Structure 1
Amino acid sequence: MNTEAPREHPNVLVFFTDQQRWDTTGLHGNPLGLTPTLDGLARRGVSVDHSYTCQPVCAPSRASLQTGQYPTTTGVFRNGIPLPPGIPTLAHHFRAAGYETGYIGKWHLAPDEHTGPVPERHRGGYDHWLAANLLEFTSDAYSTSLYDGDGRPRHFDGYRADALGTAAVEFLQQQRTGPFFLFLSFLEPHHQNSRDDYPAPDGYRERYADAWTPADLRALGGGNSGEHLAGYYGMVRRLDEVLGTVLDALARRDELENTVVLFTSDHGCHFKTRNDEYKRSLHDASIRVPTVLCGPGLRGGRRLGQLVSHVDLPPTLLDAAGVDVPDGMQGRSLLPLLRDEAAGWPEEVLIQISESEVGRAVRTHRWKYGVSAPDADAWQVPSADRYLETYLYDLHADPDELVNRVSDPECASVRQALGERLAERVAQSGEPRPVIDPPLSPGQPQ
């Protein structure tokens, strides 16, 4: 494993997709060849094989990736809540270290009344700005509008992911004397809200008609994966092509080898098999995402086996760039793991759930354990002081999370141990340590 120290402040590029399951990628066993560029990046760099969002919905996960803090710490515990302007972001930290910072694409961290242009105070400290707060409402597959730092619209023809790639290449081609930090945020492969469709580029949906279906979707039936999976796959394929375009632009400028690249997504997609929409559940289909790092200090084709949260990625980027990690970040850098310094690394990740329920969960390599506050208003209330045990999956025996064993007497000791771990992780995240009650007996009123 090559863990050479980075040159003084390498460039940093984040390639951020929306609603992309981990198993859309070849490196996680997808047989359709959707991600050859990403798979190649992983072979040269580091695949974070067990990577999880800390909140499976757009705004909270985005706030965490900007700040390295849990959603309840930032206050962005659901969609529709803006990131408070006073919270330091990656842009602030990189800018203080002499970086030129840029943001392109979907933001979703300003007040909802700002659908397109984002006021400067709500831009998270970024210098270069070409984005839309709610890109799903200012664009369609072949009609894209982004807004610059003066709030002026820029309209793009062609496919939406290509438009963002074009804007990114333009940013990369600018002359500069110092390093850059660019956060490139796509909408794909998120559904098009206006018509609940997954609009792939022309001809791409047809490539994947009747294609391979993940085991959980086959087993659960229902949902709408049969209708939408081909379009979803087509969107993933085009994203990988755009990734290739952006990496090629860096290579032409002889900057690829001195650029830390992070590829990840905000959450996954269960195609309406777990609730009445696409995410907002504790299941791996909602929370597990592909994550790859490559660049100085991040080479060698390493596959990390530890469980990693989104809150760990911001400190990793700063550490890899030689920038001090601030104390306010709640995650930890992955670089010690690449030096085989794993002592003290948590054996589980903490998941917060909102909107669909007020819930908390921990995922270990073997178990998924979740609790909920059944009487809490999941839109108004960020957390609870008392939860009810609601979910328990044995992921070794049941990787598709089909058999909920929360009421199984044989699992009582497992529930007790996981409940203690969950309560401790909730307290470590900054919330009061909760009381966790046992599951309801069949027929017992809530």
Structure 2
Amino acid sequence: MSQVEANRPNVIVFFTDQQRWDTTGIHGNPLGLTPNFDRMAQKGTHVHNFFTCQPVCGPARSCLQTGMYATQSGCFKNGIPLPENSKTLAHYFRENGFYTGYIGKWHLAEQDPVPESGRGGYENWLASNILEYSSDAYDTVMYNNENEAVKLPGYRVDAMTDAAIRFIDHNQQDPFFLFISYLEPHSQNHLDSYVAPDGYEEHYIGKWMPPDLASLGGSAAEHLPGYYGMVKKLDEALGRLIDSLKSLNLLDNTIILFTSDHGNHFKTRNKAYKRSCHDSSIRVPAALQGPGFNSGGRITELVSLIDIPPTLLDAAGIEVPEHMQGRSILPLSRKTSDTWPKEVFVQISEDKVARAIRTDRWKYSVVAPGKNGWEVPGSDSYEEEFLYDLQADPYELKNLIGMEWCQEITKELRDRLITRMVQAGEDAPVIVPAPVRKGPVDRRIDIKELRNNAVKWTYGN
């Protein structure tokens, strides 16, 4: 069936790694790093409040491929391969006449090269399980369908974008689903360095720094210029991809999603760059353009990575499986939905076993004492760890957990977190309240405001 006969849009996922939301101009970054993303967000649908559901590479990818939380897919930490019986986005697109391709970082297998049985159903394969180990910034090596090592010329972002454009050019006649998974702006692990293209990092030395990094330090002074340079190159790649679609007369019939797996707090919240409840870890940029999303404007509802699989299937005219735990945002883009969850739910693993919810105003997080997040996916008991008032403290510099004047709001958030955990397939835990601390009431809080925003809903319906 030809593209015209099928009358279905192509779908491309442009997926970056460890990119903070505030790297983008549309979120207030003053450095001009993302003109193509900003234009895409203005032309299409900008998901203003978008969050990962698991701030770790492999687990986030399992959520995006399966539509299930990491505790349900089984991939609750890095290094756990996606079960071979898992149905991924590739399977659903293939079953509905789309040719599927995957380029870049997979992080859901046991080895490199990834055997066909571990590729999640993708047909055209040019990828590495852990791309930072098979390649370097100017030494791009990935593996093809025959598991042959393929060295691509150019800076890694350019090399992968060239491969994506070739895939698009070779598959113009039939609908396709292409997933491009970049490593950037993740660090190059063996160097613990953010390697931008030659000449890029120098432009951002001593330039604007987000308030949390300016206050807390971490590794930002050392790493932010290179990180910004990588973001700039990724945005140029997005522009090249869009230009290639336009030149092939495919742009109007192609859905493009731009987003990332998690953010980057630059060692300000723990010894790593992620694995925390803070927006610097969990909030990422997201925008879509193409059929169903053009002129969608700004979505201000809180949307999770878990909502992306049903969104992509819905937009492509494919029935959304009942087991998927998110919901399509297409009604939000079309302004036909009047109810939406008033918080996003986050599972955190590896450095700790933790759970969190984020509302438009509040961040509430609990941790399982004595539990090793590298060994167990969850716990039956947690203790309160963080509470932030994002209205007064958007960069989460003042932890309010245990404050006497916050007890009523904390109780409400505790109950809502337990509800979300159960809806995600976890058992209802015991959450031990934090010791009460006295202190001055320095802002107004209204429990009625929080309760009025708690719409009754169920994920998957």
User: What band does the TM-score fall into relative to the shorter chain?
Assistant: over 0.9
8 Å Cα contact 1:9-1:323 kept in structure 2: no
CA distance in structure 2 between the partners assigned to 1:429 and 1:286 by the alignment? 21
CA distance in structure 2 between the partners assigned to 1:224 and 1:178 by the alignment? 46
The 5 Å alignment of 1:41-440 reads 41-111=40-110, 114=111, 116-221=112-217, 223-300=218-295, 302-440=297-435
CA distance in structure 2 between the partners assigned to 1:419 and 1:253 by the alignment? 52
8 Å Cα contact 2:212-2:396 kept in structure 1: yes
CA distance in structure 2 between the partners assigned to 1:281 and 1:360 by the alignment? 9
CA distance in structure 1 between the partners assigned to 2:338 and 2:117 by the alignment? 40
Note the residue ranges of structure 2 that are not aligned, 5 or more in a row: 1-5, 438-461
2:3 paired residue number: none
CA distance in structure 2 between the partners assigned to 1:295 and 1:400 by the alignment? 33
CA distances 1:110-159 after superposition (whole Å, capped 9, x unpaired):
01xx1x31011110000000000000101111001010011001101210
Identity %: 57
Q: What is the number of residues matched between the two proteins?
A: 432
8 Å Cα contact 1:8-1:322 kept in structure 2: no
The structural deviation recorded for 1:338 is 2.2
CA distance in structure 2 between the partners assigned to 1:434 and 1:91 by the alignment? 34
CA distances 1:321-359 after superposition (whole Å, capped 9, x unpaired):
111111111000001112333333110000000011100
CA distance in structure 2 between the partners assigned to 1:370 and 1:11 by the alignment? 39
Amino acid at match of 2:240: T
Secondary structure of the 1:140 match is coil
TM-score (norm 2): 0.92
CA distance in structure 1 between the partners assigned to 2:101 and 2:340 by the alignment? 32
CA distance in structure 1 between the partners assigned to 2:153 and 2:253 by the alignment? 32
CA distance in structure 1 between the partners assigned to 2:54 and 2:375 by the alignment? 16
Amino acid at match of 1:380: E
2:449 paired residue number: none
The structural deviation recorded for 1:8 is 2.7
8 Å Cα contact 2:128-2:134 kept in structure 1: yes
In the TM superposition, structure 1's runs of 4+ consecutive aligned residues that sit over 3 Å from their partners are 341-344
Secondary structure of the 2:414 match is helix
1:9 paired residue number: 8
CA distances 1:31-86 after superposition (whole Å, capped 9, x unpaired):
00000111111111001000000000100000111111111010111101111111
CA distances 1:215-268 after superposition (whole Å, capped 9, x unpaired):
1101112x1100110000000000011111111111111001100000000000
Amino acid at match of 1:317: L
Secondary structure of the 2:159 match is helix
CA distances 1:384-431 after superposition (whole Å, capped 9, x unpaired):
111111110000011110111111010000110000000000000001
Amino acid at match of 2:31: L
